[in-house]
Amino acid sequence: MSRKILISSGIFEKRMALIEDGSLQDFYAERGSKVIGNVYKGRVENVLPGMDAAFVDIGLAKNAFLYVDNVVLPDDPGKDKIPSRSIGDVLKRGQEIILQVERAAVGTKGPRSTMRLSLPGRFVVMIGPETKHIGVSRRIPESAERNRLRILGEKYQPEGRALIMRTEAEGATDEEIKNDIGYLVELWDEIEAKAKTTKAPALLHQDFSMVYRVCRDFFNADIDQLVVDSQEDYDNIREIMERLDPSLLDRVVRHESPEPLFLVYGIEREIENALQRSVMLRSGGNLTIDETEALTVVDVNTGRFVGTKGLSDTILTTNVEAAQEIARQLRLRDIGGIVIVDFIDMDRTADRLTVYAELEKALESDRARTKVVHISPLALVEITRQRTGESLAHEISEVCPSCHGRGHVLTPITMAIQAENQLRELAFQRAHEAYLIECHADVADLLIGPGGDTTQALEDRLNAPVYVRVHAGERDQLFISGGRIDETEEKIGWVRAEEVINILPRDCAESETNQVVAIIDGMMISLPDAARTQQRGAQIVITEVHRSLAFADFVASGKSGSKRS
């Protein structure tokens, strides 16, 4: 089996894909900073005995939720085993505590947190404050190896810390285990030292970047190649692997082709499919996946598949294939919580057991914790999957403002990412003198960036001018074209330097990037102050004009100018 990891770096996000024999098995995207795994010093804001929980200010937009079972007292870590205690017994308003985010904010809910910190290394996970405990991954089957790792853990275990030997620890040397534990001890000491001198709320430890986590958690001897399209990431990965596993350095490959990395391997299409409600099976059957607030429902249908034997065999074949694809789709879409699968009804008990076993087997490779409840006579199966944040669909889309919640539209950042990817694909297919992006104002704002920085980055990547203009259509409408510079400039709207323009309140808005902008003839104009335009409009004078963004200042009232509306 051929296994490759692909890491593609864009202006707005970094993406990782794990492919096996050309098929996408895992996908992760990192946009901006993440909070899962971060360690904070927080201040207790509210203690709610009725919920047996507290809300803690950790410096984010929403307070962190801390349930009583996740409260661990440093002076007596064993107390967290007492089932009868209440939140009021262990936490008080204004108390400063150290906690770690274990699940990101979802919808209106703040991030979920715990005082039981967990720091993962390549071979070992260190947990504390905790009583003495040594655990070994259940994926290490050999009893002799499990005993060896348990003995090593006991040998190097620091005081007040539990250790879990990860699957990667199988076959690791004494020295490798020792060094990994030593590294985690140093990291833990740094967090505690910073906590003593820092006032809450504050970030004590930023979890590692996606590139580091991929090297630590995914890149091992089973991976044939790690292919990366950014020189910065390539250099960073080689530096990381020098410490983690130098034997894998020759498997790190720099993607040099002008053709976008994900396009080469067909990943873009697979990601698009992961957003579709219907998923086709190779046999001709299909899955229908519906995500709701409470749970996710997967319906299995035979579709066009009629089989070559009897009806029971046709149903069994479809259900077995569906079980394999469902496990894959849960990983790709990062669907967590409760999942109900409605398989096609099966008359034979043996067939139901076969499908159940296939589903359990397919879920074994999932890094998220999963549990499969028995299959019912109606062929219903309940799955619970660890939820760490928003699913892929909720991460990149939001409630549609037109239908008020009956559907979803892609977020502005997702549309901006699509624009970047389409630009790179267009440039690969045929190089043009210039490129034009026509999009919604929210998307244009991100593509232009503060002061035009993002457009400049796009131009540097394409080595060609990029023009961004705002259209009056829906937000999910994106038009990208290439051509000669003179032709492009001739067909788009412009403002002129020193031009005086009357603008109305409806022309102005505060953008996603905190710029105050007006849109005139599709061109975005950066304004110094919105207050005067919000009430009665104003006159502005254009001071600078660039390809995608103009700058303006206010002029004294009464000066004549051409009115734009």
Beta strands in 3-133 (DSSP E): 3-9, 14-20, 23-30, 39-48, 53-57, 64-67, 96-103, 112-114, 117-120, 124-128
* Co-location of 119 and 193 in the same domain: yes
**Rounded distance between C-alpha atoms, residue 561 and residue 502, angstroms:** 6
Instruction: For residue 533, tell me if it sits in a domain.
Output: no
Asked if residue 552 is part of any domain, the answer here is no
pLDDT (0 to 100) of residue 93: 94
Same domain, 26 and 123: no
Do residues 242 and 356 both lie within one domain?
A: no
Same structural domain, 250 and 332: no
Report if residue 295 sits inside a domain.
Answer: yes
- Domain identity same for 199 and 55: yes
What was the pLDDT predicted at 309?
64
Handedness of CA 35, 40, 45, 50 (dihedral sign): positive
- Dist. CA 489–CA 486, nearest whole Å: 5
Which among 205, 227, 246 is the end of a domain?
A: 205
What pLDDT is attached to residue 236? 94
| 562 domain residue, yes or no | no
Residues 168 and 289 in one domain: no
Q: Is the dihedral of CA 170, 173, 177, 179 positive or negative?
A: negative
Cis peptide before 129 (omega within 30 of 0): yes
Q: Residue 360 phi/psi, 5° resolution? A: -60, -45
Q: What is the pLDDT of residue 80?
A: 47
Kindly give the residue spans of alpha helices, DSSP state H, lying in 117-173.
143-156
Distance in angstroms (rounded) separating the CA atoms of residues 203 and 110: 16
How far, in Å, CA of 16 to CA of 28, rounded? 5
Q: Residue 514: inside a domain, yes or no?
A: no
Q: Are residues 115 and 183 in the same domain?
A: yes
69 and 48 assigned to the same domain: yes
Domain ranges, residue 349: 274-385
Tens-binned pLDDT, residue by residue, of the chain (565 aa) = 889 999 999 988 899 999 998 888 889 888 877 888 999 999 999 999 988 999 999 999 899 999 999 998 766 555 445 556 788 889 999 999 999 999 888 767 889 999 999 999 999 999 988 777 999 998 898 999 999 999 999 999 998 899 999 999 999 999 999 999 999 999 999 999 999 999 999 999 998 888 999 999 999 999 999 999 999 999 999 999 998 899 999 999 999 998 999 999 998 888 888 778 899 998 888 999 998 878 999 999 887 655 556 788 889 999 999 999 999 999 988 898 999 999 999 888 899 999 999 999 999 888 888 999 888 888 899 999 988 667 777 777 776 666 555 567 888 999 999 999 999 999 998 889 999 999 999 999 999 998 899 999 999 999 999 999 999 888 889 999 999 999 999 999 899 999 998 887 767 777 766 677 888 899 999 988 654 555 556 788 999 999 999 999 988 655 555 555 4
Looking at the fold, whether 254 and 165 belong to one and the same domain comes out as no
Region of residue 94 (phi > 0: left; psi between -120 and 50: alpha; otherwise: beta): left
Considering the domain architecture, whether residues 29 and 105 belong to the same structural domain is answered as: no
What pTM did the predictor assign?
0.77
CATH, residue 14 = 3.30.420.60
Q: What pLDDT is attached to residue 465?
A: 96
Query: According to DSSP H, which parts of 297-411 are helical?
Result: 311-333, 349-363, 392-396
Whether 523 maps to a domain, the answer reads no
Residues 215, 359 share a domain: no
The answer on 216 and 187 residing in a single domain is no
Query: What's the distance, CA 200 to chain centroid?
Result: 27
Per the CB < 8 A criterion, the answer to whether 341 and 290 are in contact is: no
Report how many domains make up the chain.
3
Q: Is residue 263 part of a domain?
A: yes
The pLDDT of residue 430 is: 86
* Tokens of residue 19, six digits: 């492919």
Cα 208–Cα 231–Cα 11 angle in degrees, nearest 5: 70
